[in-house]
Every structure is written in C-alpha cells, then in structure tokens.
Chains A and B, each alone.
Chain A
C-alpha cells in the first residue's frame, strides 16, 4: 500500500520508491507494451526463480484481468521431477494456459545429456523453442533472462529482434531509447522480450522474499541422493533412468544440497549447503565466490563466446 503524507500546507511529501519498486514498474510497463503491440505473445516459462518472478509480474501487470497470453515450457524430459510438479501448479494458480513442447526428433532419437553432449541443448532447447514458436505463430516471446547473468546477455536489448529464422545479429541491434520500444516487424520476424533485464540475482531473491513467491523446493537445502559426474556433484533425481542411460548404477550418496539455478538434472550442478530459508539462501549467495552460472554445464566447453553463439542460432 502506498503511504501518503501531506504537509501542513496541503502539498504532498514525495513518496520514495525503492529500487525494487522501480524495477517492478519498469517490468510491468514492458509486459503491457508487448501485449498492446504484439499479435500473438507467449511467455517462456522454465519453472526457475526468474520465471517465477516474471510470472508474478505478469499477474500484477494485467490485474484484474488474467495475463492475456499462454505460458510455454520447452521441455527436454530431463528436468527435475519437482519442476514438473510446480509447472502445473503455477499455471493453474495463474489461471493461464500452459503449452508444453518436446522436440519430436529429439524424443525419437532419445537425445540425452550423457551420450550427446551439446546436441542435447541444441536439439531439445534451441530447435525445440524454434519449433514451438513457429508451430503456434507466436510473434513475441517473453524470456526471463537478466543482463547480469552473462556477458552477451549484458549487451542485449530489452526488445531483441530476431530474423524469420530466429537468428540474432548482435552487431546490428536496434537503438532502444528511453522506455520507447520499437515493436514493429515484418511477417515471419519475431521479438524476444526480456522484462527483467535490469534485475540482478539479488533483486530476484529479495523480491521473492518480500512477495512470498512460490519457487521450486530444490532451491532450499535438503538431504538428497547425489552422485559425482565429471568432477561435479549432481542429484540422482530419477535413478532408474540414469542407470538405463549410463549402463550402470552411479554411486549414490545422500548429502545436504541445493541448487542456485535449475535446468536439466544431469546438467545442473548441486552445491552442498545448509541454507533452508530465503534469508539463508541470500546470505549464502552474497558470501559465495563463484558465479550463478558456474554450475551450468551448458555454458562450458565452447569457449568464452558459447552463450552468444547459441543465441545467434536461436537459443533463448
């Protein structure tokens, strides 16, 4: 609730907005601009903490209406079970349609992160996303990316223009002045819009804390079955499936772990932690010496421009 304090002479005392108030207002403005100008928008929903905040902002932006677009989850079949459970609940609570897309070619070939390396991301996520957008004819897709995540993200516009083949041309981005967004495009072209571009990881956590936003329990520490792979700690979310793909049953050890980001369970490194509350998570994040994406296997191995390369090819 806004507070009002009037001076004795009747003039209002300026109301100070916190940086989170300002970020929230900016994100809501962006969400509404898209809905006003796009023919067929969609919100990419990945079940992570950033998606949770973006979804919450969408509810606020259009209240008392429901957000006038569906949610789209580009699935790899390798997400954590807890993520699938939250995905259904979050869509239901928001009163929004949930579309789920799994790349049929990847499904048929049984693409998995153990045998197929970077092909796993390429086919399930990059190709899967392009297929889903084309199939439904979505012309604008909201994504929960933040500029503080990665160097090429730091360079991206809030309205990021894509060619008819979903390519991104980082050397030739449209100027983006003030909060005036040029959402005009030719048939076949599309725009990826990032409403939380200017939020930091700390802002996201603090907002979740302040507004009591539901996030996957995987962010909180608990005793979970883990295994070591390639020198990193992972959670054995589906032990039988792991065994089928690996051809052997990995050594499972129960540990107190949690996750800083969420993706495919065989690609998302866990951290050993005792943080069981939001303030404890924030405390741990602020005192850590490694970056958020450090646990993401997807970002490693392709040199320092791997994210940019993926984005040019159509990855979110």
Chain B
C-alpha cells in the first residue's frame, strides 16, 4: 500500500521560497500553463483524484483539512478515511447526493508547470457541463474504474474530448488497489480502449494505472505496480507536449470586439488575436466586406508593440479610414478565411428542448452574432457503436451533423484549424438559453455558387406601376379565431379601392405548395418559412399580400418580419379566447383534438405564442368580421 504522502516536496519548492523569494518568483513567472480535464463515468473517482492532487501539492490548508476531516466523518463515502471528493464537490446539492453536477475549476502548480484542472461530471444528464470544461482543455484525463472497464460514458467523454479538439488523452485506469494491482486486467482494459480509440480515429493515448484513493502512481511511482515502467500521472502532466505557440504560425486573424474611440483623432479596433502575428505595415483585410488596408500601430497601455501574437489582447489602428466594427474579422490580406452563409457542422445539443429544423436561432461565432437555421439532421452518432443513425431532430446530449444557413455571410474557418473561428453556440431567441455547441467542417459549395441575379425592373418599379405601396398583412391567431374570414373581408375592400392584392390562406397552401408538410413543430416552422418566402416574392412584385395562418410561434413570425423591408410587415393579431374559438368550432377540429384523434392541435396539445407587440390587434368577441376588417383598413390605408 502506498503511504499517504506528507505534503510532497515534489510540488512546491519550499526551500527556495524560504531562502530566495525573488529567485522563486522569477522561476514561477516563467512556468507554462496546462489546462486539463478529468472525465469518465460516475464513480470512476474523478473528484477523488483531483482532491488527491491538491492534497499532495500542498494546496489543502490546515483549516480546509480540518473541515474536510469533519465532513468526511459526517457525510463521506470512504468510511473513516478522508473523502477527497468533498474537496471539489462544492455545491450543497452535490454533497447531499454524493455526485458531481457541474464542472469545478481547481488550480495547482509544480516546479515545472501551473495547472488549471476542470473536474467534470460523469452523469449523462450533465454532459453539457462536461463539454464546458472540455472546450478549453489542452489535455484530458479519462478515468476508468479498473473493476468496470470501458463504459458508455467513457466512450461518450472520449468522443466529446476528441470532437472539441483535445489531442492529448490519458487513460487513467483507476482503483488499481481494488483489483490487487492485476496487470492482466489492466492490459485487457487498455486493449479494449485501444480498439475503441482506433475506431473513432484517436491516434494516440497514454495509459497509466493509478489509485487516486491510495495515491499509487499519482505523484510517486508505486511499489505496488512493479510491472509498470511508465511515468506517474503527475510526471506525464508535467511533461506532456502541447505547443502553446502553434497558433502563432497560422495566418493572422483577429475578431473585432470593440471600436476604441476616445476622441476624434483616434480610432482603434480592439480584440484578442486568434491566430498568427501582426506588425505595423502588415497588409490586412477586414472581412466580410473585404476592404484592404494596412496596420499602423499595435496599441497597448504599456506602449506600442513591434509584434502582436496569438493569445494577446491588443488594439490595432489602420493606415486608412475604413469601415470596421464589432463582428468584423481582421485577417492577413493574402490568406483570408471563408466567408459564406451556408456550412456543414457537427453539433452537440445542450438543451432540454429539442432542435427544431428551420427555426431561427442566434448563432454566435467569435464576435459575430447572426440569425441561423439548422437543416434537418444528416445523421446522429450513436456514441456506443459510432454508427450514423437517421434522425429528425437533435435532443439533449445528441451529437450529429447538419447543414446550417445564416441570414448574412459570416467569416469562419474549419474547427480543426481554429477553435475561435470554427466553434459556435446557438442561442434561443426567446429564452436566451444556450441551446447547442457547433464545430464547422466546411462551407457548402452552393453558398459560393448561387449568386443573386440583379434585375432591371425592381420592386419599386413594380409597385409604382400599380400605384400602391406593397405590404404584408400577416394574420395570426388560433384555429377558428376568424383569420380567414376577416382577411377575406379586408381583401374585398382593398379590391374595391383598386388595390392589387393576393390572399394566401393556410388551408389552401397546404393543399398545394406545402402538401408534404404535417403539423409537427418542425413542419409548422417550414410551412411558415415557405409562406414567408412566397409572400416576399409577391410584395417584390408590388402586391399587397394577406396571409391567414395560425403561425403559432413568435420566432417564426419574427423571422418573416426580418425578411421584409422595414415597416412592410404588419402583424395582425386576431385575438379570440380559446374557449370562444372552441365553442365556434366551424370545422369540427377542436372536437377531434379533444377526443385525441387529432394530434398537435394548436391551443390543445401544441402551444400558441401570442404576439407581444402586434401592429394591429382585433378582438373578435367585441367586433364582427366586417367591423374588424374596417378597423384594419383604417389602420393600414392609404397604401400609396
């Protein structure tokens, strides 16, 4: 059995600190920084291992140790021994349940390196917290319980670590004390993992047998493992090769965070250099506009720099007054990244609400924020078998591949080349929750090759010929609220006034253009997208378009709004209480829905999100359809 180490001198150079603090400070200042994660299945001993590293590195102070001993006796899971997991499981809910819910960041240092370690949760339910930790890691320690071998979560975490680009993997076969330090069983686990690793194209990993609880092979070689000749875990962490300067050898990239304008004479562009180096005089371009200029100064508070390098925060000034703002990317003029509005990416879904193909989400990439939609999944990955499965959507913790399109071109690179310009998050437009993380593969060809054709007769000409102003009158409301009836009345009146109109009605469109769509959330979104596109073409032709669709979701109505020129989209909320619409039940649909023979019916088992600020609201309890139509006409006229 390994002795519980007294505070090991391998970590802190107490003697040097005591004798020559200045020398120590110089030494400490020049240490490299390694960020790593511990991951693996529940109960594989992640928190215990980190507790052990902190304890052995003398980062547990006397007052903390006293608290730890008291906690261990009271709620620990290790009998009378110290339960190191209690050092890192810092949330009350975690300590009560004895599990890790969220990622904890801990810090320690040896003579050679400083470390930031993220202890990530093992439960599948908390995968999103594991990804949070993995996204900034240089190295991953994947723990396996020697008694259990490779489990689903071992595979899942390995795949995620590999996906987010962690190239340095350690397979720590833990709890060796509980299998009597048996080499044969260790070898079998390593062989098992090697087969799996090869199947997901992990080129190399470092296996190490340890016991976090007993301390074997964590910081000092264990006499219990005489058959193992490799490094201890700590020795590996101290020497693992990761090149922090590799980003400097790539072409220059700097996403602009903020325009720095203290006075009329200074206009600088502040950002964190994502890749490459930059010097005054370098030729650069500002994307997506593509305007070229050159760097005048690299400004910092402690003086201008001769060279700026990747991972530095700087402020650049240019030799020309060109347009540049937050979201733009300053790049090497002769080696620019992609600019496109369609791309393929791997996605990890992080939210309880499933992905809705066609729904617009905010996409944040670097400092760019655009509206983006996800196409139906190409496939979802089975994390056990690596099979590519057909999928209609992505649910919590799903990993898969899909195409994306954005409402305007964005600047990006493949994730394999740049975490900063290849990694993005999706944000729900209503709740603002972070829904997913994405990693870009490549731009789609069609986004390069399909260009808009400029035509000589434009929308103004079309409208002028009709002597009217195009509008899109968008009626929304529950089934049976009176949308179609009122829209029909409005169109009749507009025609009497010599206005050129067209009414797109929900039921009619579903007989033709949208006959392939059903009533799932995803199909409803696609239904509205198509109607929006058709309505837009018709307004381009100079028409006043009326649409009568339930259009239950706020986000999609807003999507159509943003497709139209400012002020042309008029949202008309046909406000009828559910009880009233259901009592009318003109088509007998509510009856069917209540009986359960009609699924996904708005207001019954599918939600309706009323507009928050419609341009026009009509109350059909107080108004007849004719009165409502006259009210609307008064609001929208003259339309010339």
A interface residues, Cβ below 8 angstroms from B: 1-4, 12, 14-22, 24-25, 28-29, 32-33, 35-36, 59-66, 147-148, 150-155, 157, 170-171, 173-180, 182, 184-186, 197-198, 200, 202, 206, 209-210, 279-280, 282-283, 286-291, 294, 304-305, 308-309
Task: Please pick, from B258, B303, B307, B425, the residue contacting A180 in the complex, using a CB distance under 8 A.
Answer: B425
C-alpha spacing A1/B305, complex, angstroms: 6
- Surface stretch bound by A, among B87-95, B460-468, B551-559: B87-95
Closest 7 CB pairs of A and B: A151-B90, A14-B245, A19-B33, A28-B313, A63-B301, A65-B262, A291-B61
- Surface stretch bound by A, among B128-136, B180-188, B288-296, B583-591: B128-136
Q: Show 7 residue pairs from A and B whose CB-CB distance is below 8 angstroms, ordered by the A residue.
A: A4-B306, A170-B102, A173-B129, A176-B132, A179-B272, A180-B365, A291-B64
For B279, give the chain A residue with the smallest CB separation: A4
> Would you call B270 an interface residue if the criterion is a C-beta within 8 Å of the partner chain's C-beta atoms?
yes
For A306, give the chain B residue with the smallest CB separation: B92
> Would you call B308 an interface residue if the criterion is a C-beta within 8 Å of the partner chain's C-beta atoms?
yes
Contact check, A283 vs B101: say whether CB atoms are below 8 A apart.
Answer: no
For A157, give the chain B residue with the smallest CB separation: B132
Contact check, A289 vs B62: say whether CB atoms are below 8 A apart.
Answer: yes
Contact check, B427 vs A65: say whether CB atoms are below 8 A apart.
Answer: no
C-alpha spacing A61/B315, complex, angstroms: 9
Contact check, B61 vs A17: say whether CB atoms are below 8 A apart.
Answer: no
Q: Which residues of B contact A206 (CB under 8 A)?
A: 25, 28-29
Q: Which residues of A contact B174 (CB under 8 A)?
A: none
B358-388 interface bits toward A, Cβ cutoff 8 Å, 1 = contact, 0 = none: 0000101111000000000000000000000
C-alpha spacing A155/B299, complex, angstroms: 35
Contact check, B423 vs A178: say whether CB atoms are below 8 A apart.
Answer: yes
Contact check, A185 vs B91: say whether CB atoms are below 8 A apart.
Answer: no
Contact check, B437 vs A175: say whether CB atoms are below 8 A apart.
Answer: yes
> Would you call B103 an interface residue if the criterion is a C-beta within 8 Å of the partner chain's C-beta atoms?
yes
B interface residues, Cβ below 8 angstroms from A: 12, 14, 17-18, 21-22, 24-25, 28-33, 61-64, 67, 71, 87-93, 95, 101-107, 109, 114, 116, 128-129, 131-132, 135-136, 244-245, 248-249, 257-258, 260-262, 266, 268, 270-272, 277, 279, 299-303, 305-309, 311-313, 315, 326, 350, 362, 364-367, 419-420, 423-425, 427, 432-434, 437
Contact check, B427 vs A182: say whether CB atoms are below 8 A apart.
Answer: yes
Given contacts A155-B102, A198-B116, A308-B92, contact A175 B313 (CB under 8 A): no
Most buried by A among B12, B131, B432: B432
Given contacts A66-B262, A175-B129, A175-B131, contact A152 B326 (CB under 8 A): no
Q: Which residues of A contact B326 (CB under 8 A)?
A: 36
Q: Which residues of B contact A173 (CB under 8 A)?
A: 102, 129
Q: How far is the CB of B621 from chain A (nearest CB, A)?
A: 30
Contact check, B309 vs A2: say whether CB atoms are below 8 A apart.
Answer: yes
C-alpha spacing A35/B362, complex, angstroms: 19
Contact check, B132 vs A175: say whether CB atoms are below 8 A apart.
Answer: yes
For B266, give the chain A residue with the smallest CB separation: A64
Contact check, A15 vs B307: say whether CB atoms are below 8 A apart.
Answer: yes
Q: Would you call the interface of chain B mostly helix, strand, loop, or mixed?
A: mixed
Task: Please pick, from A179, A280, A305, the residue contacting B92 in the complex, using a CB distance under 8 A.
Answer: A305
C-alpha spacing A157/B248, complex, angstroms: 28
C-alpha spacing A180/B434, complex, angstroms: 11
Contact check, B12 vs A286: say whether CB atoms are below 8 A apart.
Answer: yes
For B127, give the chain A residue with the smallest CB separation: A175
Contact check, B107 vs A197: say whether CB atoms are below 8 A apart.
Answer: no
C-alpha spacing A63/B106, complex, angstroms: 32
Contact check, A17 vs B312: say whether CB atoms are below 8 A apart.
Answer: yes
Q: How far is the CB of A38 from chain B (nearest CB, A)?
A: 12
Q: Which residues of B contact A150 (CB under 8 A)?
A: 90
Q: Which residues of B contact A148 (CB under 8 A)?
A: 106-107
For A23, give the chain B residue with the smallest CB separation: B33
Contact check, A210 vs B434: say whether CB atoms are below 8 A apart.
Answer: no
For A62, give the chain B residue with the smallest CB separation: B260
Given contacts A150-B90, A178-B135, contact A60 B300 (CB under 8 A): yes
C-alpha spacing A170/B89, complex, angstroms: 12
Contact check, A154 vs B105: say whether CB atoms are below 8 A apart.
Answer: yes
For A25, give the chain B residue with the smallest CB separation: B313
C-alpha spacing A287/B16, complex, angstroms: 11
Most buried by B among A65, A177, A288, A290: A177
Q: How far is the CB of B159 from chain A (nearest CB, A)?
A: 16
Q: Which residues of A contact B364 (CB under 8 A)?
A: 180, 182
Contact check, A60 vs B301: say whether CB atoms are below 8 A apart.
Answer: yes
For B101, give the chain A residue with the smallest CB separation: A171
C-alpha spacing A2/B64, complex, angstroms: 41
C-alpha spacing A314/B102, complex, angstroms: 20
11 further A-B pairs in the complex, CB-CB below 8 A; given A175-B131, A182-B364, A197-B105: A1-B306, A12-B277, A32-B271, A65-B260, A154-B105, A177-B135, A177-B423, A177-B437, A198-B105, A291-B61, A294-B61
Contact check, A29 vs B309: say whether CB atoms are below 8 A apart.
Answer: no
Q: Which residues of B contact A63 (CB under 8 A)?
A: 299-301, 315
C-alpha spacing A177/B427, complex, angstroms: 13
Q: Which residues of B contact A286 (CB under 8 A)?
A: 12, 14, 17, 24
Q: Which residues of A contact B29 (CB under 8 A)?
A: 18, 20, 206, 210
C-alpha spacing A28/B301, complex, angstroms: 12
Q: How far is the CB of B566 from chain A (nearest CB, A)?
A: 22
Contact check, B107 vs A200: say whether CB atoms are below 8 A apart.
Answer: yes
Contact check, B437 vs A29: say whether CB atoms are below 8 A apart.
Answer: no
For B309, give the chain A residue with the smallest CB separation: A15
